[in-house]
Amino acid sequence: MPLVHISLQSGKSDVYRQAIFDGVYHAMRDALETPEDNQFMAITEHTSANFRFGGSYLDIARSEDLVFIQITLNNTRSSAQKKALFQRIAELLGDKPQIRSEDVFINLIEVEKENWSLGNGIAQYA
Contact predicate 97/15, CB 8 Å: yes
The number of folded domains in the chain is: 1
The three-state secondary structure class of 114 is helix
Q: Which helix (H) or strand (E) holds 44?
A: strand 41-46
- CA atoms of 90 and 15, how far apart (whole Å): 18
Tens-level pLDDT at each residue, the chain (126 residues): 799 999 999 999 999 999 999 999 999 999 999 999 999 999 999 999 999 999 999 999 999 999 999 999 999 999 999 999 999 999 999 999 999 999 999 999 999 989 988 899 988 888
pLDDT at position 45, please?
Answer: 98
Catalytic residues: 2
Q: Is residue 125 part of a domain?
A: no
Structural domain range at position 89: 3-114
Residue 123 lies in a domain: no
Q: Considering the domain boundaries, does residue 108 fall inside one? A: yes
CATH number assigned to the domain comprising residue 67: 3.30.429.10
Considering the entire predicted model, what is its pTM?
0.94
Residue 121 lies in a domain: no
Burial category of 78 from C-beta neighbours within 10 Å (exposed 0-12, middle 13-18, buried 19 and up): exposed
Nearest to 46 by CA among 66, 28, 72: 66
The pLDDT value recorded for residue 109 is 97
